[in-house]
Amino acid sequence: QVQLVQSGAEVKKPGASVKVSCKASGYTFTSYDINWVRQATGQGLEWMGWMNPNSGNTGYAQKFQGRVTMTRNTSISTTYMELSSLRSEDTAVYYCARGKPYGSGSYDAFDIWGQGTMVTVSS
Amino acid sequence: DIQMTQSPSSLSASVGDRVTITCRASQGISNSLAWYQQKPGKAPKLLLYAASRLESGVPSRFSGSGSGTDYTLTINSLQPEDFATYYCQQYYSTPRFGQGTKVEIK
């Protein structure tokens, strides 16, 4: 079935970087954008950016510009989100989510979500 | 950035009730609006997109309406499995979510 499977939980120290993976299966990997969304404990959802797995093009939320990098490996249908210069406020569950193309807009709703990866930033 | 204001932040309802959640955008978003349901410890689930289009497999008791800046999610005949937190999301421009509405059992 169509699914996104993410890598496991991470614990990092302030100032370090984390790289989360998101492996797609059950559909043509290069046909759908992948977005990254995070959620701090008890808080709402925050969009971080998107990647087009076909072209490698990316777009990042202004808040994360300069700290986030999204990449992909098409041979294994996997996208990656790397966040650097981690601080305690980055402690959250990070989700990848597939874009659902509809209409002519530049952005999409998100129809398939990964299970989430908990990233804890603590000294 | 387009801001999304969702209300109420929480509500209490009984099984069988009709529930309405609203979302207001800070500017027009041309129906580029999605609704999600999230249960504790789980990823969000897409319910509706393009303001009123029901995602495949979602029960028909969920419906969406609205235009311009104002949108509504309605749940007819609330079921036990519907107690969750609901989020709206605009994707007309840089995606942004509402603050969420927690639907609790009365």
A88 phi and psi angles, rounded to 5 deg = -60, -35
**pLDDT interval class at B70 (50, 70, 90):** very high
**pLDDT interval class at A101 (50, 70, 90):** confident
Residues 1-30, chain A, touching B (beta carbon < 8 A): none
pLDDT of residue A117 exceeding 90, the answer is yes
pLDDT of residue A103 exceeding 80, the answer is no
Q: Do A105 and B32 touch (CB under 8 A)?
A: yes
- DSSP for B46-101, please give it: EEEETTTEEPTT--TTEEEEEETTEEEEEESS--GGG-SEEEEEE-SSS-EE---E
Strand (E) or helix (H) holding A19: strand A18-25
The SS3 of residue B15 is coil
CA-closest candidate to residue A109, choices B74, B87, B13, B20 = B87
Tell how far CA B37 is from the center of its chain. 7
pLDDT for A56 equals 96
Interface residues on B facing A, Cβ-Cβ cutoff 8 A: 1, 30, 32, 34, 36, 43-46, 49-50, 53, 55, 87, 89, 91-100
Predicted confidence (pLDDT) per residue in B2-55, tens digit: 999 999 999 999 999 999 999 999 999 999 999 999 999 999 999 999 999 999
Beta strand A10-12 with A117-121 is parallel
> In this structure, what DSSP letter does residue A75 have?
G
Q: Do B91 and A108 touch (CB under 8 A)?
A: yes
Question: Using CA atoms, how far apart are residues B61 and B76, in angstroms rounded to an integer?
Answer: 5
- C-beta of residue A80 within 8 angstroms of C-beta of residue A72: yes
**pLDDT interval class at B102 (50, 70, 90):** very high
